[in-house]
């Protein structure tokens, strides 16, 4: 019998009604059981992972890709630990906020409830399978996981372990579904199943996210790219500006919260840019500089319009001198990717104005853009980052996997 | 020169940056000026409205449709009063919630900000134009309003008045854009402009909403239909059940929060249904009854599967006897439209369980479904009702037109 994604989504929908009503204790017990099962089944998981590794090598995956794919006893233990950590996160489900009395005596409030069924489409490491399953379960959602072809055997064996744990805990195993058929047609059908899937979270390259956004009938959390800016204001602490630049650009590259553009107020350019040039040169950072800043750098390339939109994900940065504070805001209005922007300033009014006027998901004063992630901001584990404003904006923790319904407690009120 | 919706959306985007930063006092002053201007320009508005009325009659609109289209001095005054009322609503923008210190001393909180540019696509009365414009302005958003062809002259003259008021208040008039070309191709193009429009709210029949949902590249607030249920529990107060039934079904029909299905616990059916039958007969309500209830009604039709999905919007109701409490929940899991469900009960545990397990946007205990609207629930004016869980669920007030960004206040923190 051939695989039916429509049936899988229906089964997940059915399971979603029961997982929505599990108590926090039941969910935490299940998460602990899932963690224990992964460790217990280490040998089996390594065996299946080996099949993916062999196929990956045959198909010419790079060493870096093979490494991302590889599971080891240590990595499996880390994964189990990650699931155990989810038990420590507060359960958002069931909280009632803002309960207020209406003039007719009805009490009206809002109760937090799971979204229902969440589909994850991802390309990357098999641990996403277990981590996403854990976060969806803790927030009372069922999940449909569609990982990449290269990790299929690993994903399926992880699902098998998680199912064993769920069944032992008397939880419908369809709460966690791994799509066993990575054919594109199956993914395309998945994106049409709006009756049974409430949200799609794609994780991967911009191509994947655009493809899902443009083809899905189901709401999609969009995270296109992070073109994070640091604006060094007139009168800023020079050393702090350098620290934020260096940390933002070089502490880790290849991540969405690293800096991609440096904006410098013209009043401080002459003081700041020579030191910035030195710091960047020491780290081997390639510079794309505007006309007014290029003279400060050795071997800088002239920045083109594309550079203001570029997410280098590498030791490269665009640099622009701006006339004044307002010009930095205007640059951001035009080029912000909606991810993270930082101001380095000593000025109270401009700090407040930057926070108020810049409408990216994360706006920071005097802190490194590298803190822009769910863990660092205190959300616990992160299921994704949204750079569009609908439903969630910025790093998404458990609460982003829920919504609020209205609850009305009356004693016979009717409308006249 | 021909009209360009792309240019209009770009102009709205530009205006959105400035309206996002208006103070509450500035926005309220603009709303008052808009209200005054509508009254001041009553003669002009009536003149333009007359053009729509003449065309409407020529095009064979029904008397009811003509009446919905017609503006009078009184209705214009009502509209002005509605705008003035918006000045009384709290401004959601700028509120910072949950500001907390991280271990490294950074303060992290969430600030409420406007969504940006909202597009409304609607078929109905010209007052939607002014009311939606007012709610979007108060929440700091720019708006693109695409009303129906039949109200075009009325919508354009209202926009002209609102623009005059905005200009007098030094606000970019592109904050309120009315699409002057009601050609379908223009609407189709609008739905692709995801760079400049953040959200589409369609208001109208199910056909319009499906069309927008299926064709939009921009997130859409979905409100398909309201199939509201009343479940009368075993042991319920019979008179209260009758009151809720009568009020829910007959106080006003043709609205999405009127009752469409009555579920009755079998233990109370023999007591409740004869009285319900009498009450429904007195109001001339047509009954679609299940096998177990049909005997209680005169002239009832046998319910088919379609009846459990039907939004009659008329003096008709579907009736079903269920075995027990769980069977009522299962019926709702299968047939709920996600709008509003009511339980009539005296039982504490079942009241709580109904509230917990039913995942519609509005869940009520012992209160009429007719209270399921923004005004009645205390949100002030309502911009729409969402029956899908993403971003907003249920009646949407000003807060639903905003999102939250993360705000980080540091003093030089970098990540190690």
Domains of chain B, each with CATH number or no CATH: 5-222+395-407 (3.40.605.10), 228-373 (3.40.309.10)
pLDDT at B97: 87
**Residues 241-260 (B) with a CB less than 8 A from some CB of A:** 243-244, 246-247, 251
Q: Determine the residue of chain B that is closest to A409 in CA distance.
A: B365
- Judged by a CB distance cut-off of 8 A, whether residue A10 touches chain B is no
pLDDT at A314: 94
CA-CA distance, A137 to B384, in Å (whole number)? Answer: 31
What are the residue ranges in chain A where pLDDT is below 70? Answer: 1, 124
**Residues 35-74 (A) with a CB less than 8 A from some CB of B:** none
Q: Is pLDDT at B1 greater than 80 in this prediction?
A: no
- Judged by a CB distance cut-off of 8 A, whether residue A405 touches chain B is yes
Instruction: Using CB atoms, pick whichever of A251, A394, A405 lies closest to residue B393.
Output: A405
Flag if B409 and A363 touch (Cβ within 8 Å): no
- Judged by a CB distance cut-off of 8 A, whether residue B397 touches chain A is no
Flag if B413 and A389 touch (Cβ within 8 Å): no
- Nearest 5 degrees, angle CA B60-CA B65-CA B66? 75
**Residues 331-350 (B) with a CB less than 8 A from some CB of A:** 333
**Average pLDDT for residues B152-162, to the nearest whole number?**
97
CA-CA distance, B275 to B292, in Å (whole number)? Answer: 16
* Model pLDDT for residues B93-128, shown as the tens digit of each residue: 999 988 999 999 999 999 999 999 999 999 868 989
Residue A30 CB: number of other CB atoms within 10 A? 26
CA-CA distance, B319 to B359, in Å (whole number)? Answer: 21
Q: Is pLDDT at B341 greater than 90 in this prediction?
A: yes
Counting Cβ atoms within 10 Å, is residue B64 exposed (0-12), middle (13-18) or buried (19+)?
exposed
- Judged by a CB distance cut-off of 8 A, whether residue A192 touches chain B is no
- Answer whether A341's CB lies under 8 Å from A332's CB: yes
pLDDT at A254: 85
* Model pLDDT for residues B43-58, shown as the tens digit of each residue: 999 999 999 999 999 9
Instruction: Using CB atoms, pick whichever of A199, A240, A391 lies closest to residue B412.
Output: A240
Q: Is pLDDT at B378 greater than 70 in this prediction?
A: yes
Q: Determine the residue of chain A that is closest to B353 in CA distance.
A: A21
Q: Determine the residue of chain B that is closest to A237 in CA distance.
A: B412
- Say how many residues make up chain A: 416
The values of phi and psi at residue B377, to 5°, are -90, 0
ipTM over 0.90: yes
Q: Are strands B199-203 and A142-146 parallel, antiparallel or unpaired?
A: unpaired
Flag if A389 and B364 touch (Cβ within 8 Å): no
Here the tokens at position A136 are 């969806």
Counting Cβ atoms within 10 Å, is residue B3 exposed (0-12), middle (13-18) or buried (19+)?
exposed
Counting Cβ atoms within 10 Å, is residue B119 exposed (0-12), middle (13-18) or buried (19+)?
buried
Residue A283 CB: number of other CB atoms within 10 A? 11
- Judged by a CB distance cut-off of 8 A, whether residue A362 touches chain B is yes
Flag if A413 and B361 touch (Cβ within 8 Å): no
Percent of chain B with pLDDT over 70: 100
pLDDT at B98: 85
Say which DSSP state B375 is in. T
């Amino acid at each position: 019998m051939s695989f039916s994604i429509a049936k899988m989504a229906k089964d997940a929908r059915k399971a979603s009604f029961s997982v929505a009503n599990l108590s926090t204790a039941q969910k935490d017990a299940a998460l602990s059981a899932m963690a224990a099962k992964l460790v217990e089944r280490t040998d089996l998981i390594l065996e299946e992972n080996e099949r993916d590794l062999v196929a990956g090598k045959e198909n010419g995956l790079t060493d870096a890709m093979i490494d991302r794919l590889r599971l080891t006893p240590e990595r499996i233990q880390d994964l189990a630990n990650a699931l155990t950590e989810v038990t420590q996160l507060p359960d958002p489900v069931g909280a009632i906020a803002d309960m207020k009395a209406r003039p007719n005596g009805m009490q009206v409030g809002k109760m937090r409830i799971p979204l229902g069924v969440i589909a994850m489409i991802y390309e990357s490491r098999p641990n996403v399978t277990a981590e996403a399953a854990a976060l969806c379960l803790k927030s009372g959602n069922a999940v449909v996981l569609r990982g990449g072809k290269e990790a299929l055997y690993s994903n399926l064996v992880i699902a098998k372990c998680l199912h064993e744990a769920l069944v032992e805990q008397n939880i419908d195993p369809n709460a966690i579904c791994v799509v066993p058929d990575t054919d594109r047609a199956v993914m395309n059908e998945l994106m049409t199943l709006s009756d049974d899937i409430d949200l799609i979270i794609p994780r991967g390259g911009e191509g994947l996210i655009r493809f899902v956004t443009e083809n899905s009938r189901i709401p999609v959390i969009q995270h296109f790219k992070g073109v994070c800016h640091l604006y060094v204001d007139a009168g800023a602490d020079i050393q702090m500006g350098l620290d934020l630049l260096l940390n933002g650009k070089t502490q880790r590259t290849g991540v969405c919260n690293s800096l991609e553009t440096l904006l410098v107020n013209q009043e401080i350019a002459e003081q700041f840019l020579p030191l910035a040039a030195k710091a960047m040169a020491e780290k081997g950072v390639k510079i794309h500089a505007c006309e007014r800043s290029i003279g400060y750098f050795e071997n800088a390339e002239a920045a083109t319009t594309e550079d203001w939109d570029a997410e280098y994900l590498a030791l490269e940065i665009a640099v622009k001198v701006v006339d004044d504070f307002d010009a930095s805001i205007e640059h951001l209005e035009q080029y912000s990717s909606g991810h993270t922007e930082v101001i380095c300033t000593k000025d109270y009014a401009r700090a407040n104005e930057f926070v108020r006027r810049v409408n990216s998901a994360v706006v920071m004063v005097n802190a490194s853009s590298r803190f822009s992630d769910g863990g660092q901001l205190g959300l616990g584990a992160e299921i994704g980052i949204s750079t569009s404003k609908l439903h969630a904006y910025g790093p998404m923790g458990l609460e982003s996997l829920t919504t609020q319904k209205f609850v009305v407690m009356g004693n016979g009120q009717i409308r006249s």
